[in-house]
Structure 1
Amino acid sequence: MLIITSLLLIFVISWLLWMLTKKKLGSLPPGPPSLPLIGNLLSLDPELHSYFATVAKTYGPISRLWLGQKLGILITSPALAREVLKLNDTIFANRDVPVAGKEAAYGGNDIVWSPYGDQWRMLRKICVREMLGNQVLDSVYSLRRKEIRNTVKYLYNHAGSPVNVGEQMFLTVLNVITGMMWGGTVKPVDRERLGGEFRQVINEITGYLGMPNLSDFYPGLAPFDPQGVKRKMKVLAKKFDVIFEKMIDQRRKMSSGDVNNKDFLQFLLQLKDGGDSNPPFTITHLKALLMDMVVGGTDTTSNSVEFALAEMMNQPDILKKAQYELETVVGKENIVEESHINKLPYLQAIMKETLRLHPTLPLLVPHCPSESCVIGGYTIPKGARVFVNAWAIHRDPAIWENPLEFRPQRFLDGKWDYTGNDYAYFPFGSGRRICAGTAMAERMFMFLLGSIIHSFDWELGQGKKHDLSEKFGIVLKKKVALTAIPTPRLSNPAMYE
């Protein structure tokens, strides 16, 4: 009875605060009618990216939804995206951290969820300088090559049989990332087992991060955790923490002077133990960065490669054209090397078109203004959750000809890039919070996709039909996993070793 009374009291107070807040907010963007206290929650479609696009068609490129007590602002045009991500970049550089994000990222002490400020700048600088910068990526080319060759060998050994493409791409990227983080620590025999553990946990984490959660919409309900999201994420985070603790313990037992065992984890431990970072770099920051590298780098790249191959298989002429380019540049008597990437403009166009049609983060990571401001002539109050719908902008027929068609040739003119400076195409975001791993993602996508289509022809099983539908989440995924049959293309079996 006490719990029920407490909940009723919270709802009454929340309703009163909600009504007072609405009166004070001024000229908000237009949006659909909302119910008292509940707002528009009952009308939400699980496929938020397409639902938000539908709302924008009715109410305009800047519109609003009431998500319980939380005000959601939908941005669906390049001009307004520019206002948010460039002209008012500093104001919108913060995040509205969900309960799931706090639990997954050690209280939100990572690059993704940290508020804009000294701590965030320190964490980003560490990652770019020590793991994601071009100089570091050049130095670990042999690791990427080894893991991709392992994948090619696996596919060769399973030639003629259906293969879960996304699963194999995930394990490849995961092995590269964990190799960079603690490569001298994990024995090769443990890689597959560890990969299986990570994949299961990561899928569950990204699921909860994209799930609407009442604790986020009604902060007064957070202590009660009505959907159990906090409790479930705590369990998942603990699984990661056990793995991280094991890696840290093993790394500390190894000789720091062993030149063959230098990796990201060793650097982070030296930075923490040195105590000369400002602000201080703690063990919490260390684990949160490891979490970012694993969660942020695996599902994203592997899903994009899976989408790309599915789209190419759906249009065999595109696949053949890409293979012909590879034959011309690489040759059928050679294997793909990373040095070939810059000589493959059509494959580059395939990557860009994949990220246009299926952006990795369809709504980016929601922004949160640190102060009230005016965007598009409307008031955006401090603390609102701002969704920039890159998915909808990338499919806007006013910008793109035949936007729902997969047409790589639209990118052959070299006009578009990943810098985030053109707000009609910004798959990695823009402004201060642009993705720090763009260079890593581009290398892995190109090297991995180029290798598997140069080495193999691909087809669906008999009676199978192509399904390119999407499943919404903080990371966009194929609704139906791509299961395809590889057939070797290269005549020399040695090229599959």
Structure 2
Amino acid sequence: MSIFYLLSFTHNKFTRSKLRPPLPPGPTPLPFTGNLISMLQNKPTFRWIERMMDEMNTKILCIRLGNVHVISVSDQKIALEFLKDKDKIFSSRPESVSAYVTSGGYLNTALAPMGDQFKKMKKILASEILCMTRHKWLVNKRNEENDNIVRYINNKCVTNDGVTRGLVNVRIVGQQYSSNMVRKLIFGNRYFGKGSADGGPGKEEIEHVDSLSSILCYVYAFCVTDYFPWLQWITDFDGHEKMIRNAISRARKYQDPLVDERIQQWKDGVRRKQDDLLDVFINLDNPRLNVDEIKAQIVDLSLAAYVNVSNNVEWVMAEMMNQPMIFNKAVNELDLVVGKDRLVDESDVPYLNYIKACVKEALRLHPVATFNLPHVTTADSTVAGYFIPKGSHVMLNRIKISQNPEVWDDPRAFNPDRHMNGDKEVVLTDHNLHTFSFGTGQRGCPGMLLGSTMTTMLLARLVQGFTWELPPNEPHVDLKENLHDISKAKPLLALAKPRLPHHIYSTLDYEGKAPTMVQMGVAT
């Protein structure tokens, strides 16, 4: 009888495997290790995957690392099958050492697997933190940072500390603006420390931003121990775990004490009025968050806002400076909509279609990373006629999807006009994924409103407030990417000069208070 059942089981298994669709095309895996050796021989991994897709002429690729099938997708229609049609089974996240450490044990929104914790945190973000009501409530804090970045650049134009007058590192501008903005919205203060004399970042802010950059390098990087978990008990094979733990430690040494102090202030009755997002987090009642959840979510927000805004604005400025006609068109729009007697503000954003088209085009050409955060399937499925096994890691190629020649003419050219559609307002979201900006489905970015506003306002302030020229002996901006990521290889350096009346700059608010953490001696 047992032999009969064994033969029956074997027959049924063989029949099922014969009837099911094939796996997506990919390199032939070795027993046990799969394609691991090839991956280790072809760093960086994302460029190796792109090369294979080009060589095999496929829009969906399967590589096997250990027992895990990694599915790479470079087609908009196939991506929508994953994110819309079958979002229910493809909206979880893979387990990963880097994600676990970054999220404080999967306590935040972006990295938490599908489940009660993710649903709770996403609901809080959507209804309490990143909603329209809260967005309006925080407008004054955003205005302060919009003014502060103009003041900082203007200081560069009027001082000369042994360097070229007016020479501005646009990458630092973007990083400072976005990280200052997050600190102001969450903690109510611009700096962890005192900042620098010219209004730029101080040593505390520089270390914090560096730590965020390091975290982003290692979150869901292709780490061997993620595919062979038993190795974690033996060795940190890639060194990734040490790197991510050190980076998280550096970031949280500035953030966590402020959270602890604020919680104590509310307990002691010293603080009674909500003024920033940290106050909102602390006073949530249904559901109530514990201190570890608050700290993890603050890391999540800091990472998302910092990297996306700064990366986009550096690239869009670089592209525009290489095409003066486009830059002039953006300037003319600002002069027409806003004029030169005041600085552009958020109420102008709906009417700045060309500025937003420039932002959207940079998002299309230069996303912050090649792949989105990976999804993991919770059940066997079929997508685009291929079998996707349960537990597969699905990664969508932002660049290939956004530069689809079937959607865009001359897809690699920077052409903001392709997003202009008569009198219709240009929006940065694209749920059809013609431009892979904020994603879609359950894992779509909940910070679309804040991210769009910050990016548009920063670009508008840079273009309206200053004229920009390349340094001497630099005829054009070098648009080369880094080898190990797709950020701009060299920071954009440009000469800025004020283009508005002097009184516009002289009336900017010069106040910038440091948090009480400095007084506590944590950061000096």
Instruction: Please give the TM-score of this superposition, normalised by the length of structure 2.
Output: 0.83
Judge conservation of contact 1:28–1:379 (CA < 8 Å) in 2: yes
SS of residue in 2 equivalent to 1:91: helix
Q: CA deviation at 1:368?
A: 0.4
Pick one of 355, 366, 370 that aligns with 2:363. 355
* Aligned match for 2:263, one of 249, 252, 257: 252
* Aligned partners of 1:185 and 1:250 also within 8 Å: no
In structure 2, give the amino acid aligned to 1:249.
D
* 1:84-163 mapped onto 2 (5 Å cutoff): 84-159=82-157, 160-163=165-168
Distance 1:76 1:187, change over 3 A: closer
SS at match of 1:432: coil
CA shift digits 1:65-86 (9 cap, x unpaired):
1234431111121221111111
- What letter is aligned with 2:176? L
CA positional deviation for 1:438: 0.8
* Alpha-carbon distance in structure 1 between the residues aligned to 2:143 and 2:462: 13
C-alpha contact 1:101 1:209 (8 A) present in aligned 2: yes
Give the superposition deviation at 1:238: 2.2
Specify the code of the residue in structure 1 equivalent to 2:441.
Answer: G
Alpha-carbon distance, 1:476 to partner: 4.6
Offset at residue 122 of structure 1 (A): 1.1
Q: Could you tell me which residue of structure 1 aligns to residue 209 of structure 2?
A: 199
Q: Which amino acid aligns with 2:280?
A: F
User: Which structure 2 residues correspond to residues 46-445 of structure 1 after superposition, within 5 A?
Assistant: 46=43, 48-57=45-54, 58-159=56-157, 160-183=165-188, 189=194, 192-209=202-219, 211-223=221-233, 224-254=235-265, 258=271, 262-271=275-284, 276-277=286-287, 281-413=289-421, 414=424, 417-445=427-455
Residues of 1 paired with 2:482 and 2:127: CA distance? 34
Aligned residue identity for 1:241: R
Q: More displaced, 103-112 or 63-72?
A: 63-72
Residue 62 of structure 1 contacts residue 75 of structure 1 at CA under 8 Å; is this kept in 2?
Answer: yes
Q: 1:149 to 1:118 in 2, by over 3 A?
A: same
Q: Which amino acid aligns with 1:266?
A: D
Counting matched residue pairs gives 470
Relative to structure 1, the CA distance from residue 91 to residue 415 in structure 2 (aligned partners, 3 Å threshold; closer, same or farther) is: farther
Which position in structure 1 is the counterpart of 2:8?
Answer: none
- State whether residues 371 and 397 of structure 2, in contact with CA within 8 Å, keep that contact through their aligned partners in structure 1: yes
3-state SS in 1 of match to 2:495: strand
- The separation in 1 between residues aligned to 2:76 and 2:263, in whole angstroms, is 49
Whichever residue aligns with residue 259 of structure 2, its letter is I
Q: Which residue of 2 aligns with 1:460?
A: 470
Separation in structure 2 between the aligned mates of residue 344 and residue 187 of structure 1, nearest angstrom: 33
Q: Give 3-state SS (helix, strand or coil) of 2:166's partner.
A: coil
Once the two structures are TM-superposed, the CA of residue 354 in structure 1 deviates from its matched residue by 0.9
Specify the code of the residue in structure 2 equivalent to 1:351: V
Which secondary structure state, in structure 2, belongs to the residue aligned with residue 405 of structure 1? coil
Task: Give the deviation of 1:46 after TM superposition.
Answer: 4.2
Q: Which residue of 1 aligns with 2:26?
A: 31
Q: What amino acid does structure 1 have at the position aligned with 2:88?
A: T
- Report deviation, 1:286: 1.3
* Amino acid across the alignment from 2:170: V
Q: CA deviation at 1:344?
A: 1.0
Q: Is the 8 A contact 2:23 2:386 kept in 1?
A: yes
| 8 Å Cα contact 1:420/1:431 also seen in 2 | no
Q: What does residue 14 of structure 1 align with?
A: none
**Cα distance in 2, alignment partners of residues 210 and 68 from structure 1:** 16
CA RMSD after TM alignment: 2.6
Instruction: Give 5+ residue unaligned stretches, structure 1.
Output: 1-19
The 1:295–1:31 alpha-carbon spacing in structure 2 relative to 1, beyond 3 Å, is same
Q: Give the CA deviation at 1:403.
A: 0.4
- Give distance in 2, aligned partners of 1:179 and 1:259: 19
TM-fit CA distance, 1:306: 0.7
Return closer, same or farther for 1:332/1:186 CA change in 2, 3 Å cut-off. closer
CA distance in 1: counterparts of 2:330 and 2:138, whole angstroms: 27
Q: Quick check: 1:303–1:476 contact (8 Å CA) kept in 2?
A: no
Specify whether residues 262 and 155 from structure 1 end up closer, same or farther in structure 2 by C-alpha distance, changes over 3 A only.
same
Q: Which residue of 2 aligns with 1:4?
A: none
Relative to structure 1, the CA distance from residue 98 to residue 479 in structure 2 (aligned partners, 3 Å threshold; closer, same or farther) is farther
* Alignment CA distance shift 1:83-1:185 (3 Å): closer
> How many angstroms does 1:227 deviate by?
1.8
**Cα separation, 2, equivalents of 1:133 and 1:472:** 38
1-structure distance, mates of 2:190, 2:360? 35
C-alpha contact 2:156 2:166 (8 A) present in aligned 1 = yes
CA contact (8 A) 1:185 1:251 kept: no
Spell out, residue by residue over 1:243-296, the C-alpha distance to the aligned partner (whole angstroms, 9 max, x if none): 23310232134356756652222222233xx5x52xx63322111101101111
What 5-or-longer segments of structure 2 have no aligned partner? Answer: 1-13, 158-164, 196-200, 509-524
Q: Is this contact kept in 1: 2:108–2:300, CA < 8 A? A: yes
Q: Residue 518 of structure 2 aligns with which residue?
A: none
Q: Tell me which amino acid in the other structure corresponds to 2:228.
A: Y
The CA distance in 2 between the partners of 1:328 and 1:95, in whole Å, is 46
TM-score relative to the length of structure 1: 0.88
Q: 1:472 to 1:120 in 2, by over 3 A?
A: farther
Give 1:187 shift.
Answer: 7.3
2:151 & 2:462 partners in 1: Cα distance?
Answer: 10
CA distance in 2, matches of 1:38, 1:298: 37
Residue of structure 2 in register with 1:482 after alignment: 492
SS in 1 for 2:412: coil
Cα deviations by residue, 1:59-113 (Å, 9 ceiling, x for unpaired): 4222211234431111121221111111100100101132111111112221111
Query: Could you say which residue in structure 2 is the equivalent of 1:10?
Result: none
One-letter amino acid of the structure 1 residue matched with residue 182 of structure 2: I
1:49 shift after superposition:
4.8
Change (3 A) 1:410 1:184: closer
Amino acid at match of 1:103: V
2: distance between equivalents of 1:437 and 1:376? Answer: 30
Q: Distance in 1 between matches of 2:426 and 2:45?
A: 26
Are residues 92 and 472 of structure 1, via their aligned partners in 2, closer, same or farther at CA, if it must alter by over 3 Å? farther
Q: Is the 8 A contact 2:467 2:497 kept in 1?
A: yes
Change in 2 beyond 3 A, CA 1:186/1:248: farther
For 2:84 and 2:312, the matched residues in 1 are separated by 26
Distance (Å, rounded) in 2 between the aligned partners of 1:144 and 1:217: 42
